[in-house]
Amino acid sequence: MALKVRMTAKRQVTFPAAVCEALAVYPGDTLVLKEAHVEGKRVWLIEPQPETARPWLGSLRAYAEHKPSHDMESIRTAVARKRGGHT
């Protein structure tokens, strides 16, 4: 299957949703382009950039997901509860 993309005057392209889904890439992700030669033709490989270590700030994201409240008091209460302390 061949898909086409059109480059804008600013050298930007929009990839079809099927391509983004196949690559498992989302808005804000970085793609890596690598030059290669296949059967004597110059081609470019497109891959998602490997995920780097999460910054310390992002480490709380997993804790916060699916929690009903994210205010400081509820966070302190949850931490105290985990430590076995009283709220």
**57 and 85, same structural domain?**
yes
9 lies in the same domain as 44: yes
Question: Residue 81 is part of which domain span?
Answer: 53-87
Q: 12 near 36, Cβ under 8 Å?
A: no
> CB neighbours (10 Å) of residue 30?
9
pLDDT in tens, 12-64: 999 999 999 988 888 888 999 999 999 999 999 999 888 766 566 666 777 76
Q: Do 40 and 10 sit in the same domain of this protein?
A: yes
Residue 17 and residue 28 in one domain: yes
Q: Are residues 3 and 41 located together in one domain of the fold?
A: yes
Do 40 and 27 lie in one domain? The reply is yes
* CB-CB contact of 34 with 45 (8 Å): yes
Q: How many domains would you assign to the chain? A: 2
61 and 86 in a single domain? The answer is yes
1 pLDDT more than 90: no
Q: What is the residue-wise DSSP string for 3-72?
A: ------TTS-----HHHHHHHT--TT--EEEEEEEETTEEEEEEEEPPPPPPPGGGGGHHHHTT-S--SH
